[in-house]
Amino acid sequence: MTETVETLPAAWYTDPHVYAREQQLIFARNWSVFARADQVANPGCFVAGRVAGWPVFVVRDCNGVLRGFHNFCRHRAGPVISGSFGHCDLLRCPYHGWTYGLDGALQKTPGFVRDAAVNPYAMSLLPVAVQIWNSIVFVCLEDRGTDLEQWLGEIVPLAQAYPQVDDMVFHSEVVSEGEVNWKSYSDNSAEGYHLGSVHPALTRALLPERTKISTYENGRFIAFNVVYKETEYRAMSNGLWVYKFPGLLLHFSDYGFNLERVTPLGAERTRMQRWFWFPATATGAECDDVVAASNQVMGEDLAICTRVQENLAAGTYQTGQMSPSREGGTIFFQHCVREALES
Ligand code: FES
Ligand SMILES: [Fe+2]
């Protein structure tokens, strides 16, 4: 008989100190989806947001180099970029007017008397690592020299069997937020055991004997090979669902591609951003069907995860047991969390 594996302690799903450690030890150290490459295609184009709670931005500089920076001025922490996307020729802090080039170098400090002990011109914006894969811009705050494609591991060759982002058209972004710890949501994303109970319509459309879940150590991700019955869920298409630690879901299929970025906003709040791409030949109705099916599955997941979160927070449940054969992905995910927090 296979031994079961104990879950993470319930307190890890509500404790603000655990949340703070996860931001630092997990989200700052892994690559995060940040922008689409087409948003920063030209010099001066920028996208701003947060990674692991830190305000950062990416900008295409005058020489065509894509750069990433922390979004604070070296003087007294004013924001050098306002708004979530746009175009600029220069980075000007709105607090006292210091300006930086798009390469992050400090250019002007109007009215600032230079102190002999301080050379403000040595204070460039603080960089963050930025790389592109499949026309998606990723950012990593604590660059430990792990190349993005190395981090993605076997996802890179697996993705080549499906249409690439550059060959498709971006359709839409759908943003959802829930009163859940990000791990409640990811625990669920990493296993197929709940499909029959939580997603009855989806389960009826699947061919279970051809749906296979694999764990890939190299890329630290879990992949679901999904095959649908003929005529059912045609819009969803056959394909590959990937859950990549810590918070990235990718869905490759012949009919399009979508990704989901899972961002913790607090110990008991999480944001899910989904981006959808389709071939230029897809009709509006086909695209809408895929988004609607995705919304339904995600709504079902979020509903059960919210109830689970309530029980984890109530204080009686401490830990449970998981089955390696049915919940191998979640066991693997929780192993990654433990390993990171104990590092
Ligand atoms: S904080 Fe930016 S110029 Fe003062
Ligand atoms: Fe689900």
Does residue 230 surpass a pLDDT of 90?
no
Evaluate: CB of 107 within 6 angstroms of ligand 1. no
User: Given the CA of residue 109, which atom of ligand 1 is nearest to it?
Assistant: 3
Q: Match 């180099």 to its residue by tokens.
A: 65
pLDDT given at position 114? 65
Record the pTM: 0.94
Closest Cα to atom 3, ligand 1: which residue? Answer: 96
The answer to which of 52-56, 187-191, 236-240 has the lowest mean pLDDT is: 236-240
More confident residue, 290 or 138: 138
231-264 tens-digit pLDDT: 555 555 568 889 999 999 999 988 899 999 999 9
Q: What confidence tier does 124 reach under pLDDT thresholds 50, 70, 90? A: very high
Which of 75, 82, 109, when mutated, tests ligand 1's pocket best, judged by the most ligand atoms within 8 Å of its CB? Answer: 75
The answer to whether 232 touches 137, Cβ cutoff 8 Å, is: no
pLDDT given at position 280? 94
What is the Å distance from ligand 1's center to 119 Cα?
Answer: 15
The answer to whether 59 touches 40, Cβ cutoff 8 Å, is: yes
Does residue 334 surpass a pLDDT of 70?
yes
The answer to whether 106 touches 117, Cβ cutoff 8 Å, is: no
Pinpoint the alpha helices (H) of the chain. 16-22, 148-152, 155-159, 182-189, 195-198, 200-205, 284-314, 328-341
3-state secondary structure of 242: strand
Evaluate: CB of 75 within 6 angstroms of ligand 1. yes
Does residue 324 surpass a pLDDT of 60?
yes
For the chain, list the domains and their CATH numbers. 5-27+149-341 (3.90.380.10), 32-145 (2.102.10.10)
Evaluate: CB of 94 within 6 angstroms of ligand 1. no
The answer to whether 99 touches 92, Cβ cutoff 8 Å, is: yes
Neighbours of ion ligand 2 (CB under 5 A): 301
Closest to 335 measured CA to CA, from 111, 327, 185: 327
Structure tokens at 39: 């948003």
Q: What confidence tier does 129 reach under pLDDT thresholds 50, 70, 90? A: very high
**Ligand minimally distant from the alpha carbon of residue 226:** 2
The answer to whether 166 touches 67, Cβ cutoff 8 Å, is: no
Largest CA distance in the chain: 75
Evaluate: CB of 79 within 6 angstroms of ligand 1. no
The answer to whether 123 touches 106, Cβ cutoff 8 Å, is: yes
The Cα 99–Cα 182 span in angstroms is 37
Type of residue at 195: L
The Cα 255–Cα 238 span in angstroms is 9
The answer to whether 199 touches 178, Cβ cutoff 8 Å, is: no
Pairing mode of beta strands 66-70, 54-60: antiparallel
Share of the chain above pLDDT 70, in %: 92
